[in-house]
Structure 1
Amino acid sequence: MIRAVLFDLDGTLLDRDESVKKFINDQYKRLHNYLGHISKENYMTRFIELDNHGYVWKDKVYQQLMEEFGIAEIDWEYLLKDYISEFKHHCVPFPNLHGILEELRRNNFVLGMITNGYGQFQMDNIAALGIEKYFEAILVSETEGIKKPNPEIFERALKRLNVNPNESVFVGDHPENDVVAPEHVGMKGIWKKDVQWGTFETNYIVEDLGELLIIIKKLNNESSLK
């Protein structure tokens, strides 16, 4: 019987691609005195390419942008600090985010989150989405000193939630980190479908967070029949 639902953050609860677009558009406008020699379209497009859906940290992204676009009046550290302090003001939730978390809590599921990334940066984004209150355990890889897909971070989260692996599902957009890895420790993986990964064959897939409870109820029905 499923008792706990654990989530990834970026690409699962936070629409990171849309958030990045909003942030970069704002950064370009705010720092136009330094960036105005670059077209906004070129600046945004190249940032998004170098960022690689968040899998490249922004120190490298900004250093590359400085070199390619000849940004001279400010340094990359200035741009990085701006990213760290301002990104949280541009966080875009996926549709039905608050609704599904409310519904899961009403149905007495225990909720947790495991996200790779920098501790305070990720916690700021979670706070910006207004969802911290729903979770009984939030594990950020920098703070934990270990990251997905290492099985230990899943085991650590389950221990904090006081649930067994076979009582838990993990929901995320990354096939390896969020579906295969939790299944290795005995959890059920639910893929939040993301076109950037192409086709990925797995048993449980949602395209919208609102579909989650249907799948979880199905899993519990299957369990009761065994």
Structure 2
Amino acid sequence: MSPRPAGTTPRRSGTSSRTSTSPPSDSAARTPATGEHIDENDLYPDVRPALATLQQKGLWVGLAGNQTAKAGSLLRKLDLPVDAIATSAEWGVAKPDPAFFRHVIELAGVAPNELLYVGDHCDNDVVAGHAAGLWTALIRRGPWGLCGRTPRRFWRTPTGSSTP
């Protein structure tokens, strides 16, 4: 994890992870107990540079999503430029449960209206995160992002306050 540049104030940002459901390549390691596999090939090409850019700008970046504990371990082994990685299995609660977003808020260490949660599922990420008081953004990629609906209140603030 990279240190914060001197003189910057960390701001908070969240994002969900993307994992592949396709079988691993012959050269990739497979996790025997669960069959889960995550490696660099499972990331979109712009993920690592985008996360690094956010951190270089002094933003706190976390990954949190509905994944197994093993997926969390595999994501940590990728040494992504993020400040934290957590999964629903590690927390014992999954989206869209409001308790999942309470864990996200605690992990980030800020007020809900200071947090942006980016996800690819309209109902589980955007609508549920918004209901928990977070800023939310829909990223339209992956199976959920491309087949799901766009939320009607996409541009409204979580608390009805003005846009920052």
Q: What residue number does 1:3 align with?
A: 11
Q: Secondary structure at the match of 1:189?
A: strand
Q: What residue number does 1:171 align with?
A: 118
Alignment partner for residue 195 of structure 1, among 146, 152, 155? 146
Query: Deviation string for 1:92-131 (max 9, x for gaps)?
Result: 211311111111112211112211121023321x135431
AA aligned to 2:134 is: M
Q: What residue number does 1:123 align with?
A: 73
Conserved in 2, the CA contact under 8 Å of 1:91 and 1:128? no
Q: What residue number does 2:82 align with?
A: 134
- Using a 3 Å threshold, how does the CA distance of structure 1 residues 165 and 114 change in structure 2: closer, same or farther? same
Instruction: Select the structure that is richer in helix.
Output: 1
Conserved in 2, the CA contact under 8 Å of 1:119 and 1:143? yes
CA distance in 2, matches of 1:101, 1:130: 11
Q: 1:23-42 residue pairs with structure 2 within 5 A?
A: 23=24, 26=26
- Using a 3 Å threshold, how does the CA distance of structure 1 residues 165 and 97 change in structure 2: closer, same or farther? same
By how many angstroms is 1:90 displaced? 6.8
Q: What residue number does 1:153 align with?
A: 100
CA distance in 1, matches of 2:95, 2:34: 27
CA distance in 1, matches of 2:41, 2:85: 18
By how many angstroms is 1:89 displaced? 4.5
Conserved in 2, the CA contact under 8 Å of 1:9 and 1:115? yes
Q: What residue number does 1:107 align with?
A: 57
Count of residues in Structure 1 that have an aligned counterpart in Structure 2: 141
CA distance in 1, matches of 2:34, 2:119: 28
CA distance in 2, matches of 1:100, 1:89: 17
By how many angstroms is 1:160 displaced? 2.5
AA aligned to 1:142 is: A
Q: CA RMSD in A?
A: 2.8
| TM-score under structure 1 length normalisation | 0.54
Query: Deviation string for 1:126-175 (max 9, x for gaps)?
Result: 135431x522x322111111111111121122123211111111111111
Identity %: 21
| TM-score under structure 2 length normalisation | 0.72
